[in-house]
Structure 1
Amino acid sequence: MKFYPAQVDAIAEALQNIFQNGTYADREIARILKADKRRGSKDRAFIAEHTYGVVRYYRLYAHLAGGEPREKSDYWRLVGVHLLLQGHVLPNWREFAGLNMADLQEDLGAARAERVLRESIPDWLDELGEQQLGADWAPTLTALNEQAPVVLRANRLKASPTEVQTALAADGIVTELLDADALRVTERKNLFRTQAFRDGLFELQDFSSQQAAPALEAEPGQLVIDACAGAGGKTLHLAALMENKGRLLSLDIHGWKLDELKRRARRAGVTNMEPRPITSTKITKRLTGKADRVLLDVPCSGLGVLRRNPDAKWKLYPDVIDRVVAEQADILSRYSRMVKPGGKLVYATCSVLPRENEQQVAQFLASDAGRGWTLEYSQSYLPQRDGYDGFFVSRMSLTE
């Protein structure tokens, strides 16, 4: 495929901002793509795909390019390394001078012998993963460097999975039915321009993530709380499972995320959802013992979704993991009080670390806050075994 200097320059600019200015890859790519309205769909796809490709293997590419990049021209070289290894022929541009496949192959063989280079991961994170997952860590890392599949959740408030499949086929988008409400897209296309999306027939949601809401066993007519709702993917799933009946409270400390949820809820036809920003501890204290069901999709390291957010591994540090684990324990201890006797709670993360998952649940159950709670269900999802994002779901019930 032929590419142009403007495309590579856009990728280099995005990479420089991601690694030197700390911007998030998804936001930076969106900014770059909006900066030039003249870019067509192929240009946009090329820039997005190869920016993520370099981010994913940043450490390996920097090693092969001769060291950490400092200037924009250094990021051009990282892009050149990436394109060569992807099978592209580099043009005779001065920015790519000295880059050739023969030299790369020689250096690549030695680099691939070291897991931290081969999988492009910080040393400390590799050590932590090995400690936490043992023999599962190496295949997990490899799977997390693969491109994530595109999975949809049919919105049963408006359509069945087969009806969604038919509607998408009318726009030339082929899907395959998975379990429950999930459909996997077989070829990447712009789903947001489809009539099915505008009509609210589906939401983008990974298959592993789709396991959290059903695990809560919410029923129509109940008071259900999504206590870490964010932009509300799981809130929307819960509304469908509740058939729009009962009360569904969506809480989050970030009011702007709930604003996004309200927009999504209108498109999805959700009518039983009440967004409430958590502006003080009074918000949750007033709900003590009120809820039939509470979903806690807590803040986490995000290590289970590195395929979607590969820059996260370069923004994490040991103290960040420590803070996240402490925050999880605090949320689990305080927010579980909202469940009334006989009610149920789901604790979920998009992490693969037992420290954030099974161990966190075990510590809660052994604590004073965990008295009266019983673990009913616990499941970890690993990308190499289950095929989708790394995820954890557990359900607990409170004695009546």
Structure 2
Amino acid sequence: MRLHRNLCFAVIDGLHKIFNENEYADKAVQQLLKRDKRWGSRDRGFVAETIYEIVRYKRLYAEIANVKAPFDRDNLWRIFAVWATLKGIKLPDWKYFADTPSRKIKGRFDELSQIRKYRESIPDWMDNLGTTELGEEFWAQEITKLNEQADVILRVNTLKTNKKDLQLKLQSEEIETEILPNHPYALKLKERANVFKTEAFKNGWFEVQDASSQLVADFLDVEPGMKVVDVCAGAGGKTLHLAALMQNKGQVIAMDIYESKLKKLKIRARRNGVHNIEMKVIDSTKPIKKLHGKADRLLIDAPCSGLGVLRRNPDAKWKLEPEFIENIKNIQIEVLQQYSKMVKPGGKMVYATCSILPSENEKQVEKFLTSESGKEFTLVTDKSIFAHKSGFDGFYMALLEKK
């Protein structure tokens, strides 16, 4: 592979924004890809994938390069040189790569690869937490899988098409997919591609949604005609799936504290041909109280550490703090206590997270069931999904029924 100066500069600019200006990796990459209209798909792929890989292995590469945060541009070039050397890419004769010690880089890599916190490039506290909660061997397997690049998974919109027709449509647009066993609505891309430019996407035939995330709506056991509340709806991936499972019949109330996210859901719903969604901003306790005892089904896709989705958000490793995880656990309990009141007698709710930590998952459900609000509920079933077993994001979901 030959390195091109303008693409390498784009990578350095992206890393500077993510590491030094605390910008989210997906946003930084999105902006960069608009920089030069002459870039083809290979150029764009190089910029995006190189940035993500260096973000993913920041600790390892920085240690080998012998540089410490905050990284100035010279330090970022050194980290880039480590990445290129380990990839077997010949470094061009640029000043940024002067005196790059290629042999020493490979030696340091072999040495540091023996130590998990460097090999998997994670903060000490995260390594300790994973070991404490999941056990040494289990955590080692899970964090290795969470460091791999995530596949692109599509969820077919059954209101408009089916899997077979979607596959054929994408094939006509030169995108090959494969069916995933045990995931009734999922197609996996054989090769990465910009699916958002396809006619199939513009016509609302699919959404991009990880295979594990697609299992949550199904877990809620919805039927057409029900009153269903999605209380942490965000931009609405699971809301849209619920509406499709309900065949556009009944009512889905999508709620969130951020109005901006619900506005995105409105656009997505229009494209998906969904018209049974009502949106409500949680700006006080009133919208919740109005729904007390009225929901047939309730989805609580709770705020969490996001440790199950590190494959698609590798910068979270460097943005997360132990204090945040402790605080989020308090919020999870509060959300369960307050929002569960919306479920009618005989109704059901799902508590879900994209975390792999038992302290955010099973233990929160156990705590809830022994509380005053939780005494009315029984646990029907729960499911933990781990990346190293499923090949997809780490997730947890618990189905509870109100007596």
TM range (shorter): over 0.9
Q: How many angstroms apart in 2 are the aligned matches of 1:129 and 1:44?
A: 34
2:335 matched residue in structure 1: 331
- CA shift, 1:55, in A, is 0.2
Matched, 1:116 2:120: no
2:190 matched residue in structure 1: 186
Q: How many angstroms apart in 1 are the aligned matches of 2:283 and 2:37?
A: 39
Q: How many angstroms apart in 2 are the aligned matches of 1:45 and 1:386?
A: 26
Which whole-Å deviations, capped at 9, do the CAs of 1:89-119 have from their partners, x for residues lacking one?
1112111122243211111121111111110
Identity among equivalent pairs (%): 49
1:165 matched residue in structure 2: 167
Q: How many angstroms apart in 2 are the aligned matches of 1:204 and 1:33?
A: 19
Letter in 2 for 1:123: D
- CA shift, 1:223, in A, is 0.3
1:98 matched residue in structure 2: 99
Matched, 1:293 2:292: no
Letter in 2 for 1:377: T
Which whole-Å deviations, capped at 9, do the CAs of 1:196-235 have from their partners, x for residues lacking one?
1111111100000001000000110000001000000000
- CA shift, 1:139, in A, is 0.6
Q: How many angstroms apart in 2 are the aligned matches of 1:319 and 1:306?
A: 18
Q: How many angstroms apart in 1 are the aligned matches of 2:350 and 2:120?
A: 33
- CA shift, 1:34, in A, is 2.2
TM-score for the superposition, normalised by structure 2: 0.97
Q: How many angstroms apart in 1 are the aligned matches of 2:144 and 2:99?
A: 30
2:84 matched residue in structure 1: 83
SS in 1 for 2:214: helix
Matched, 1:318 2:322: yes
Q: How many angstroms apart in 2 are the aligned matches of 1:128 and 1:395?
A: 26
1:28 matched residue in structure 2: 28
The one of 253, 263, 268 aligned to 1:259: 263
Q: How many angstroms apart in 2 are the aligned matches of 1:245 and 1:21?
A: 46
The one of 380, 386, 394 aligned to 2:384: 380
The one of 127, 142, 157 aligned to 1:140: 142
1:359 matched residue in structure 2: 363
User: For 1:156-235, what aligned pairs fall within 5 Å after superposition?
Assistant: 156-178=158-180, 179-235=183-239
Which whole-Å deviations, capped at 9, do the CAs of 1:260-286 have from their partners, x for residues lacking one?
001000110001011111111111111
Letter in 1 for 2:295: A
Q: Is the 8 A contact 2:3 2:91 kept in 1?
A: no
Letter in 1 for 2:255: L
Letter in 2 for 1:326: N
Letter in 2 for 1:65: A
Q: How many angstroms apart in 2 are the aligned matches of 1:353 and 1:220?
A: 34
SS in 1 for 2:34: helix
Q: Is the 8 A contact 1:9 1:76 kept in 2?
A: no
Q: How many angstroms apart in 2 are the aligned matches of 1:78 and 1:241?
A: 47
CA RMSD of aligned residues (A): 1.0
Q: Is the 8 A contact 2:67 2:75 kept in 1?
A: no
SS in 2 for 1:208: helix
1:395 matched residue in structure 2: 399
1:274 matched residue in structure 2: 278
SS in 2 for 1:270: coil
TM-score for the superposition, normalised by structure 1: 0.98
